[in-house]
Amino acid sequence: MAELVYFDADADKSDIVNVLREDGACVLTDVIDDDLCSRLDSDLGPLIDATPAGRDDFTGRLTGRTGALVARSEASRELVMHPTTTDLARRFLEPFTDKIQLHLTQIINIQPGQGAQPRHRDRLAWGGYLPAEIEPQFNTIWALTDFTEENGATRVVPGSVKWPEDRRATDEETTQAVMPAGSVLLYSGSVIHGGGQNLSESNRTGINITYCLGWLRTEENQYLSCPPEIAEDLDPDLQEMLGYTMGSYALGYYSDPTTVSKINDLHPPEFILGRSPREKASSAALITD
């Protein structure tokens, strides 16, 4: 049976990234404290209760999936910007980008009786068009409840990042990310994985927060899930993680269709939030005083 590597929350980040590159997944134990777990439960409990189950076998007919967590939950913002995972995400993705962005936020609540999710790679969100040597994303699943073999702990196939696309995993090559509440599963977009079967009598609840290369389109459209009228009150670091900043020299500017400026009609995303970029723009055409 394949095995996952487990790290303490303060483990050396270079060791964690090396395991992620080799195995495609690992677990950090006891990363968040009881206070944050309690605030997350308070924020998210009503959302979980109001979310219907999935519409197909892949999303899970007994699995609730709730998004827009940055807009809906102050406590979730702390997970999105957790210094340990955001630093690891940047280190892991830096060979392919100079900026990362929030790809999605989602509560995944697997209810009793839910079967195992089909094993898959998350990078298929881009339709398989990215070259295999480019790793597009860094994923996290935070455990709000204990993840056990019985209640549907995420199934992972360590080492599958290097497999050809047509190779299928066996049960013997698959393990489960068993971990206590407050821990986090880290995994790449290229590793084969899937939700587990819930044979228990209680829900298995986790928060899926994913980051991707700054020049890719995101799975969850953050400009709609967290529109400017909400984003303008957030911390600038979180605003930029949501994509309210230039992705590179020419990625992400906009023009205001309600006005015509004779001086400058090309604005960086920060402009709609009422502020200027914190770093000097690459082009004078994108500087708005």
131-174 confidence digits (pLDDT tens): 999 999 999 999 999 999 999 999 999 999 999 989 999 999 99
In this structure, are 93 and 20 located in the same domain?
yes
In this structure, are 271 and 192 located in the same domain?
no
Is residue 283 over pLDDT 70? no
In this structure, are 214 and 259 located in the same domain?
no
126 in any annotated domain? yes
Identify the H or E element spanning 137. Answer: strand 137-143
In this structure, are 32 and 173 located in the same domain?
yes
User: What's the pTM?
Assistant: 0.93
In this structure, are 263 and 201 located in the same domain?
no
Q: What token pair was written down for 152?
A: 């549907």
User: Binning pLDDT at 50, 70 and 90, where does residue 285 land?
Assistant: very low
59 in any annotated domain? yes
Q: What residue numbers bound the domain in which 271 lies?
A: 245-289
In this structure, are 56 and 147 located in the same domain?
yes
Q: Total domain count for the chain?
A: 2
In this structure, are 80 and 197 located in the same domain?
yes
In this structure, are 139 and 12 located in the same domain?
yes
Is residue 249 over pLDDT 90? no
Lowest-confidence segment of 71-80, 138-147, 188-197, 245-254 by average pLDDT = 245-254
231 in any annotated domain? no
Mean pLDDT of 272-278: 93
When the pLDDT of each residue in the chain is averaged and rounded to a whole number, the result is 94
CATH code, 135: 2.60.120.620
27 in any annotated domain? yes
| Dist CA 214 CA 224 (whole Å) | 18
* Orientation angle between helical segments 83-93 and 13-23, nearest 10 degrees: 50
User: Which long-range contacts (C-beta less than 8 Å, at least 24 apart) are formed by 171-175?
Assistant: 172/1, 172/2, 173/2, 174/2, 174/119, 175/1, 175/2, 175/3, 175/4
Domain C-terminal end among 165, 188, 223: 223
Tokens 């280190």 correspond to 91
In this structure, are 172 and 94 located in the same domain?
yes
DSSP-based three-state secondary structure for 29: strand
The pLDDT of residue 279 is 62
287 in any annotated domain? yes
In this structure, are 24 and 152 located in the same domain?
yes
Q: How far is CA 190 from CA 19, 143, 175, 178, 249, in A?
A: 14, 21, 16, 20, 28
In this structure, are 102 and 198 located in the same domain?
yes
Mean pLDDT of 240-261: 89
240 in any annotated domain? no
The pLDDT of residue 289 is 35
In this structure, are 158 and 261 located in the same domain?
no
DSSP state of 255: -
